[in-house]
Amino acid sequence: MSFPETHPALKRALDERGYETPTPVQTAVLDVAADGRDLLVSAQTGSGKTVAFGLAMADTLLGGAEHFGPAGAPLAVIIAPTRELAMQVTRELTWLYAPAGARIVSCIGGMDARREARALQMGAHIVVGTPGRLCDHLSRGRLVLSDLRVVVLDEADEMLDLGFRDELEQLLDAMPKTRRTLLFSATIAREIASLAKRYQNDALRIDTLSGARQHADIEYRALLADGREIIPAVVNVLRETDSPTTMVFCATRELVRHLQSALVERGFSSVALSGELGQAERTRAIDSLRKGQASVCVATDVAARGIDIPALALVVHATLPTDPATLLHRSGRTGRAGRKGVCALIVPVSQRRRAERLMMGAKISATWSPVPSAEEIRALDAQRLLSDPALSEEVPAADHELISRLTEGHSPEQLAAALLRTYRAHLPQPENVRQITPDARPPRAEGTRPVREGRDRAPREPGAWFSLSVGRQDKADPKWLVPLICRLGGVRKSDIGAIRIADTQTLFEIAPDTEEKFRSCIAAIDNDEVQIAPASAPAGGMGPRRSSGPRGQGRPPAGARRPRTFGGGGQGHGGPRGGATGSSRKRSPRPA
């Protein structure tokens, strides 16, 4: 299938890049039914979304012209949830719109805001940015939206999950009503549908996921491991697959540092990527992967979106993700745009049922097996050596004399042994790990009853309680407390349990499987932000979870609504992905 008819300027860019066959989402947005309309598109990561909306808005921006006129107020704004995704979108649109002479300006938290302001003052045709930084430029009068023709919300579900609703509404309310609104999301949940209904006009619904299996180009493997052998298990998975580029995901920044150091000690060329790094460090880490200078990137979920590395053939979950959405987002770094990939989940025996529930929720199936053994890896090394193309290449004439001297002075066994030592010198040693077969049953604590078939569901485990230094006197309200906790603690709203608001403080519960990650994130909170500390469970037990309540229960105090972000991010980047300031959540507690 060839590309549908596109704008001539963009067609030249596609031809230069060798684009011949469109992806389903690209075909859908170029259909005649989508011409000039608002679009509500559901498509998974790696489906060619950036090129899709770049093509979809071309006629609206250029009309019948081959080139843009002088740059002034932006004609299009693309809003992305994370710095990495915004930078990726900027790179894609730069080559796509190069023949049309587009001037593209990025406005990204963590970057130099004054430089961005000067670029906006000089004029731009397209602006790409994160919600917080775009709002900052808008409130300071640097971002003028009077001439806007198109706005794109990329990965809108992620922006809402990170608590960007307030920023999105502020930006959309400031835009001309005559604009086109293109909304892209992995899922169309209730909040996305509500946003689309409010800000879109007769939008065309495009679903590229119906009837398709999630990540059809990814082979999922679940590897049972001893909980004390996670690092050796990761080492053996890396050695067995021998991928030129691999991404390994961990739950916390501490685990990232520990695992990355362990891999470097064992001879892997590895980099780390987490929320505590500055933007320059994160950019260098990603560039080293793209250029092949590093083969393994150990990352937190901050890197789960917005990174496209063509050679990424393997994703390893060193720690299980917190929910099915995170599992899919992590895994979606591989198997992109028709390329095949492998996703390996390291599953401690005690967490097997949790892993099964995660995959069931994500609607994926995996092949269960033990972690590769050292013997299996050595056998694979032998096969790779014997099939190395270098062994069948013609001998250069210049090397004949030296080869003759080597064969005259050494036996074939000596030469072969030297070749083996040289070959193995650059390979990290495989680890001896305990082999746990899929039919093995986890050990049962003494004195407990066996779980009956079909009755293995247990009540939700009690979580850890924390206190927040605002209460009723500060007009505390879950509508802004929930996104604030998500941003400062690097968790999602589903990880927050009961909330108890008192006069001077708020007690809230964090799910046990994210407690460690939450503690590491709140340790980095600046002193002038609201304070979060461990607390005892309130009297009366765990209490109810949050539930819907009346609106308008108060606004956050100035110090809590827009505290400074941490981890090197700028305005508009908090939580692990660099993101949200306080936002509107339709949640309120039951009376305590």
The band of 330, judged by pLDDT with boundaries at 50, 70 and 90, is confident
Three-class DSSP category at 108: coil
Least confident range from 110-119, 391-400, 523-532: namely 523-532
Residues in the chain, total: 592
* CA distances from residue 96 to 170, 206, 359, 526 in whole angstroms, order as listed: 29, 23, 37, 41
549, 583 contact by CB (below 8 A) = no
Q: At what angle do helices 113-122 and 131-139 cross, to 10 degrees?
A: 60
Percent of all residues in the chain with a pLDDT value above 90, rounded to a whole number: 32
pLDDT for the residue 101 = 94
Q: What is the pLDDT of residue 556?
A: 53
97 pLDDT exceeds 60?
yes
Give the best-scoring range by mean pLDDT among 329-338, 435-444, 540-549: 329-338
CA distance 334 to 341: 5
pLDDT in tens, 427-448: 888 999 888 888 765 544 444 4
pLDDT at 104 exceeding the cut of 80? yes
Higher pLDDT, 452 or 357: 357
What is the model's pLDDT at position 553?
45
Please give the Cα distance from 8 to 421 (Å, whole number): 57
Express as a percent the part of the chain with pLDDT over 70. Answer: 81
pTM of the complete model beyond 0.85: no
Average pLDDT in the 94-123 region?
92
pLDDT of the residue at 483:
85
pLDDT at 309 over 80: no
Which pLDDT score, from 0 to 100, does residue 214 have?
53
Token representation of residue 69: 């006129």
| Minimum mean pLDDT range among 154-158, 181-185, 229-233, 453-457 | 453-457
* Strand-by-strand arrangement of the 204-207 sheet: 104-107, 126-129, 76-79, 150-153, 180-185, 39-42, 204-207
pLDDT for the residue numbered 546: 45
- Calpha distance 424→429 (Å, rounded): 9
Residue 157: phi and psi, rounded to 5, are -60, -40
pLDDT value for 322: 85
CB atoms within 10 A of CB 591: 7
Count CB atoms within 10 A of the CB of residue 232.
Answer: 20
pLDDT on residue 527: 56
Is pLDDT above 60 for 151? yes
Give the pLDDT score at 579. Answer: 39
pLDDT over 80 at 558, yes or no: no
Show the domains of the chain with their CATH numbers. Answer: 8-207 (3.40.50.300), 218-377 (3.40.50.300), 464-534 (3.30.70.330)
Determine the Cα–Cα distance for residues 5 and 56; give it in Å rounded to an integer. Answer: 11
**CA Rg value for the chain:** 26
Q: How crowded is the C-beta side of 366, counted as CA atoms within 13 Å?
A: 26
Q: Is 490 or 205 the better-scoring residue by pLDDT?
A: 205
Question: For residues 470 and 479, what is the distance between their CA atoms, to the nearest angstrom?
Answer: 14
CB neighbour list of residue 91: distance below 8 Å, 6 or more residues apart: none
pLDDT of 301: 77
Report how far apart, in Å, the C-alpha atoms of 296 and of each of 264, 269, 309, 318, 473 are.
10, 6, 12, 13, 49
Sign of the alpha-carbon torsion through 555, 557, 558, 563: negative
pLDDT higher than threshold 60 for residue 477: yes
pLDDT surpassing 70 at residue 298: yes
pLDDT for 491-525, tens place per residue? 888 888 889 999 889 999 998 878 878 887 787 66
Per-residue pLDDT reduced to its tens digit, 48-91: 889 999 999 999 999 888 899 999 999 999 999 888 889 889 99
| The Cα angle at residue 429 between residues 425 and 435, in degrees rounded to 5 | 155
Residue 318 has a pLDDT of 93
| 187: pLDDT strictly greater than 80 | no
Return the ∠ at Cα 433 (arms to 428 and 439), rounded to 5°: 135
| Dist. CA 501–CA 239, nearest whole Å | 51
Residue 338: per-residue pLDDT: 61
Angle at 587 between CA 581 and CA 592, to 5 degrees: 115
Q: Output phi, psi for 381, to 5 deg.
A: -60, -40
